[in-house]
Structure 1
Amino acid sequence: MSGVSQPMAFLAPGVLEVTPAVPSVSRSYAPLSERRAGDGSSNAAWAMSASSAIAAGVAALRRRSLRRAQRQRLPAPLRVATLDKPDVMEREDIRNIAIIAHVDHGKTTLTNALMKQCGMEKVKSMDSDQLEQERGITILAKNAAVNYKGIKINIVDTPGHADFGGEVERILNMADGCLLLVDAAEGPMPQTKFVLRQALKLGKRIIVCINKVDKPASRPDWVLDTTFDLFGCLGADDEACDFPVVYASGFKGVASVDGPEDLKEDLTPLLDTILEETPKPKVDSQAPLQMLVSNLDYDDYVGRICIGRLISGELTVGQEIGIMYGEDGEVRKGSVTKLWHFENNDRVPIDVVKAGDICAFSGLTEVTIGDTVVDLDDPKPLPPIKVEEPTVAMEFAVNKSPFAAQLKESTKVTAVQIKARLEKECLTNLALRMEPGSSSESFRVKGRGTLQLGILMENMRREGFEFMVSAPEVLLREDPDTGKKLEPYEEVAVDVPSDYQGVILEEMQKKGGVMKTMESGAVENSLILSFEIPTRNTIGMPGKFMQRTSGTAVMSSQFSHWGAFDGGAIRLRDKGSITTGATGKATFYSINNFQQRGTFFVEPAEEVYAGQVIGLHNKETDLNVNITKEKAVSNVRAASSSATVALPPKVQMSIDDWLGHMDTDEVLEVTPGPLRLAKKAQVKGLK
């Protein structure tokens, strides 16, 4: 274990490569108590304190990673000779890289800084969608390209939230390498583990970028150690564990490979590392046309736009092409009407695109993500894209409330229009599924989580749709060996101040969560608690944590595995609802009288209907009241009639808040205007 393995020879397609010697390390790791603390102590001292040869091997490989971060890197693999495929060449003028990370670790900010420093005069943010700008997260994967030292670097910005993992899985097919961003204070989080697992599964070259090193709570040494541990836990081989390290601040647009204390004036060290470490695209000049459609866009003028990486052959404007799905698929004919490549984050028209580059083209109407663009004379399809199955389902139905279709903004209210919109969404989002619902006017939609479905609902209401949705339902599957029911489990991480540790543990215990680890957080007197918990018990949990910790707890989760279903009853909320039994306007008098019974979602003069949920009861049972009742008129003056009473403001709820709040016997009415919650049994026409 203490020795060093001999140089190894690798066979790429038609290429012999020799890599430098790397330490041979077991995939076992020392206990957390024996790991080197991120306090600046030397790796040698840490290794000497470890009592096992395994720990010594880990320390040796850690030392090597640190040396790379200090510019003592060994040379990249050397090309020796071309073997049995003389037609296979490397494109020296292109690099294809995907930026992957946990949500809010700085992917988009860093990409914007790269474009600015590579000559883009007016930088347009990669988060161009309105919802992305409002929420500050990346929802859709996007392509960009920069030119550095005469080499084109195609960059794919991927979403960081677990609910949009389907975007990451299919986009990685376009890249040869990955830039893994890790927050210099938080370290690897649940989504970091997911995206890294996908990249390693595809054999991508990983560059680790420890971002936000300018934060006061930055602890890059600790982050580097935990990132290395994550590589090992995911079964990465020695070559993958020998990852290059770059320290950066995407906000300031600076980077360094020497350490966080020696940041350069710009991002040149990061760009140089990308050129050096990202594999060059290998293309076969004699192979027929092949391109896997990895993304779709739509334009009102040119129609559907296909985006992907050209594996072999070339595309030209006006070219006749074929489309296939898998080996058994039928060859459908089409032609390229318009062709683009990427410059910064714009699509620029071009006449010819050659193999190895990422491009977009129009001209096909019946095409889906996963189809292969092939040569009509020699069709050779690529394996279709496969993503993990959905874990949560909701039912979308026509709005049946008494206030349906009363807004002038509500232009799409029929089942046909809702179905067409959902089908269109499923074409561009492989993580979504749609099937018939419980009635002819409802549709069951499956996705990765409530955030993904909530984003879809928010987009639909802004487009003029009006509909109702049921409470989120966790999907179950059957074990093929035992026949028992299985349910999805989540890996949940909660970053919380130490004062609220007991609150988190209490809530997790109620929901059946099992604590796995507890570590100190990036901020003083904070903790990062990780749990394993059934997915059905996480619905509504972020909102609960926000309420009980005064908005200080940050929860993130990632699908872990399918586990045994205990068959317990599913109740999404531990308190009942306050409903109204009459239709009309809520009155000040009634709201004031029922203030002691709970909190309200409506205010005086707001229109309500019978069966609508207007508040949250203090007790577990539901409460039905007449919120439209007015004070009786009499000529008797009460002693307190002149007193001034101020009602507390109503509780403002977004779509995400409602999805985390609603129970299984309730439905959410989504309109371009108000959002209303109602009881199924009290709304006519609902099942």
Structure 2
Amino acid sequence: EVQEMVFDLMFNLDATEEQLDFPTVYGSAKQGWMSTDWRKPTDNILPVLDAIIEYIPAPQTLEGDPQMLITSLDFSNYVGRIAVGRVHRGTLREGMDIALCKRDGSVVKQRIKELHTFEGMGRKKVSEVSSGDICALVGIEGFEIGDTVSDINNPEPLPRIAIDEPTMSMTFTINDSPFFGKDGKFVTSRHIADRLTRELDRNLALRVSKAPHEDVWTVYGRGVLHLSVLIETMRREGYELQVGQPQVIIKEIDGQKCEPVELLTINVPEEYSSKIIDMVTRRRGEMVSMTTQNDRLHIEFQIPSRGIIGLRNNVLTASAGEAIMAHRFLEYQPWKGDIERRTNGSLIAMEAGTAYAYAIDKLQDRGRFFIFPQEEVYAGQVVGENAKDNDIVVNVTKSKKLTNMRASGADDKARIIPPVVFSLEEALEYIKEDEYVEVTPHHLRLRKIILDELERKRANKQ
């Protein structure tokens, strides 16, 4: 059955006859065995290791002057930046003098202090590495991704790789909510500034600029996912911060306002295709091609990066989870016009306190909630989505008044619809421009930037 499923999947992906003719090894990761016959379980995984030796061709070793393209980097507080890449040709040794071929064509003499290879979850120090080895070089300074480590006497640069430039920005700021400091270890502006500076040493597609007089940073990245990985890493390390709505980076090219456009590919069953096409075209996407692969359609679009914000969840919902979606930066193109984002307003907590099931139950006709009963909330926190397009302030901390009077009828129990629980990426895609996501190690909260209701009204009038 498993083999039939694999065959069906590969057939749907347009596999050729040669690709469908392959040896099969069966096994159970849970029970720790592999076998060439699924009816005869073993007590080890040797059959899969034997199959690797038998069927996978041996690596080619290129002899000659050493060459290595730096394709990634690491950072250590002790030795600084570490160059990572695969040795293309020849052998590199500890203590060896090398030539670093840079972007501008210049060649700089450097020395390798240490060589590390990757083993398991860590690294192992070695004396030399040869063609095909993926390694880390300690002691190389002033390098960039795409530079070549080469022979000192005969420097030959390899073709450079390009790093995609940032297309999206987000505001990072200190957590100034009433729950500041309750959950995290690192909460001050100095903590956040130091952490972002450290991130720049290893995250090459990232840029950071700071507002001169405020504890606000604008962080530029390659999309919502790129920035949400950084935020998620920071919260797991114990940081508290607040982040604003993602904004695309606008450029003026030849006097014309331009925005980043991405090539979006969606592979989806034919029955859902019309919904998906409608959804993408509403977000200013233009269909480039559509090909049939058995019972699935492979559709390519050119779509503004703005249009991709919040698209993934809608596509998965519309296709019952069947769609496969990928996108990459294409180029800057003239501004495509307005794109309709979230139209529903927010339900905003009136005052600080504990949210009660009684209050939430009575307010459920107003919209859907994001909080559980007995959760602590504060004034100005976004606790739900209004069914209409305006924001309304609601009192979720109101408890049922108890008296010794008999009720004329039996009290109905509160029937609470389960709240919407956002992932970090979903929360970033959901918020409006006057809202923040408050991120702490154990909590994600949505809030208005201006918490006070009167101040909010005053600001909206202005």
Same fold? TM cut 0.5: yes
Q: Structure 2: state its 5+ residue gaps.
A: 28-33, 35-49
Partner of 2:175: 399
Tell me whether 373-382 or 302-311 shows the greater mean CA deviation.
373-382
Matched, 1:217 2:9: yes
For residues 552-593 of structure 1, the C-alpha deviation after alignment (integer angstroms, 9 at most, x for no partner) is 44432232332210343x553122211112111111121011
The Cα shift of 1:247 comes to 6.2
2:274 and 2:104 map into 1 onto residues whose CA distance is 56
Partner of 1:654: 423
Q: Which of 568, 571, 574 is the matching residue for 2:343?
A: 574
Query: In structure 2, the residue corresponding to 1:620 is in which secondary structure?
Result: coil
Supply the AA of the counterpart residue of 2:430: H
Query: Is the CA contact 1:666–1:680 (under 8 Å) kept in the aligned structure 2?
Result: yes
Matched, 1:664 2:433: yes
Q: Which of 272, 286, 289 is the matching residue for 1:500?
A: 272
Cα gap change, 1:252/1:297 in structure 2, threshold over 3 Å: closer, same or farther? farther
Q: Which of 325, 328, 345 is the matching residue for 1:558?
A: 328
Matched, 1:308 2:85: yes
For residues 247-286 of structure 1, the C-alpha deviation after alignment (integer angstroms, 9 at most, x for no partner) is 65898599xxxxxxxxxx93467623x65xx6x53633xx
Give runs of aligned pairs for residues 489-528 of structure 1, distance below 5 A.
Answer: 489-520=261-292, 524=295, 526-528=296-298
1:249 and 1:636 map into 2 onto residues whose CA distance is 79
Q: Structure 1: state its 5+ residue gaps.
A: 1-210, 226-243, 255-264
1:592 and 1:387 map into 2 onto residues whose CA distance is 51
2:77 and 2:225 map into 1 onto residues whose CA distance is 28
Partner of 1:612: 381
The Cα shift of 1:458 comes to 1.0
1:571 and 1:519 map into 2 onto residues whose CA distance is 28
Cα gap change, 1:359/1:247 in structure 2, threshold over 3 Å: closer, same or farther? farther
Q: Which of 185, 190, 212 is the matching residue for 1:416?
A: 190
Give runs of aligned pairs for residues 318-357 of structure 1, distance below 5 A.
Answer: 318-319=95-96, 325-327=102-104, 336=113, 338-341=114-117, 347-353=123-129, 357=133
Query: In structure 2, the residue corresponding to 1:682 is in which secondary structure?
Result: coil
The Cα shift of 1:455 comes to 1.2
Matched, 1:294 2:71: yes
Q: Which of 275, 283, 303 is the matching residue for 2:64?
A: 283
2:269 and 2:104 map into 1 onto residues whose CA distance is 54
The Cα shift of 1:551 comes to 3.4
The Cα shift of 1:539 comes to 0.6
Cα gap change, 1:391/1:215 in structure 2, threshold over 3 Å: closer, same or farther? farther
For residues 218-242 of structure 1, the C-alpha deviation after alignment (integer angstroms, 9 at most, x for no partner) is 32783459xxxxxxxxxxxxxxxxx
2:121 and 2:87 map into 1 onto residues whose CA distance is 19
The Cα shift of 1:310 comes to 4.7
Partner of 1:546: 316
1:559 and 1:224 map into 2 onto residues whose CA distance is 30
> TM-score normalised to the size of structure 1?
0.55
2:9 and 2:222 map into 1 onto residues whose CA distance is 32
Supply the AA of the counterpart residue of 2:70: V
Query: In structure 2, the residue corresponding to 1:219 is in which secondary structure?
Result: helix
1:598 and 1:249 map into 2 onto residues whose CA distance is 55
Query: In structure 1, the residue corresponding to 2:390 is in which secondary structure?
Result: coil
1:536 and 1:420 map into 2 onto residues whose CA distance is 30
Partner of 1:450: 224
Partner of 1:178: none
Structure 1 vs Structure 2 CA RMSD: 3.9
Query: In structure 2, the residue corresponding to 1:491 is in which secondary structure?
Result: strand
1:376 and 1:507 map into 2 onto residues whose CA distance is 56
Q: Which of 474, 478, 486 is the matching residue for 2:252?
A: 478
Supply the AA of the counterpart residue of 1:339: L
Cα gap change, 1:608/1:368 in structure 2, threshold over 3 Å: closer, same or farther? farther
Partner of 1:129: none
Supply the AA of the counterpart residue of 2:250: L
The Cα shift of 1:673 comes to 0.8
Query: In structure 2, the residue corresponding to 1:266 is in which secondary structure?
Result: helix
Query: In structure 1, the residue corresponding to 2:185 is in which secondary structure?
Result: coil
> TM-score normalised to the size of structure 2?
0.79
Supply the AA of the counterpart residue of 1:661: Y
Cα gap change, 1:311/1:516 in structure 2, threshold over 3 Å: closer, same or farther? closer
Supply the AA of the counterpart residue of 1:352: E
Query: Is the CA contact 1:282–1:356 (under 8 Å) kept in the aligned structure 2?
Result: no
Cα gap change, 1:365/1:283 in structure 2, threshold over 3 Å: closer, same or farther? closer
For residues 185-207 of structure 1, the C-alpha deviation after alignment (integer angstroms, 9 at most, x for no partner) is xxxxxxxxxxxxxxxxxxxxxxx
For residues 397-436 of structure 1, the C-alpha deviation after alignment (integer angstroms, 9 at most, x for no partner) is 11111111112xx122222222232233232232222222
The Cα shift of 1:302 comes to 6.5
For residues 23-69 of structure 1, the C-alpha deviation after alignment (integer angstroms, 9 at most, x for no partner) is xxxxxxxxxxxxxxxxxxxxxxxxxxxxxxxxxxxxxxxxxxxxxxx
Query: In structure 2, the residue corresponding to 1:594 is in which secondary structure?
Result: helix
1:515 and 1:508 map into 2 onto residues whose CA distance is 9
1:396 and 1:329 map into 2 onto residues whose CA distance is 37
The Cα shift of 1:463 comes to 0.8
Query: Is the CA contact 1:213–1:247 (under 8 Å) kept in the aligned structure 2?
Result: no
2:24 and 2:335 map into 1 onto residues whose CA distance is 44
1:381 and 1:517 map into 2 onto residues whose CA distance is 38
Partner of 2:164: 388
For residues 432-470 of structure 1, the C-alpha deviation after alignment (integer angstroms, 9 at most, x for no partner) is 222224753222222221111111111111111111111
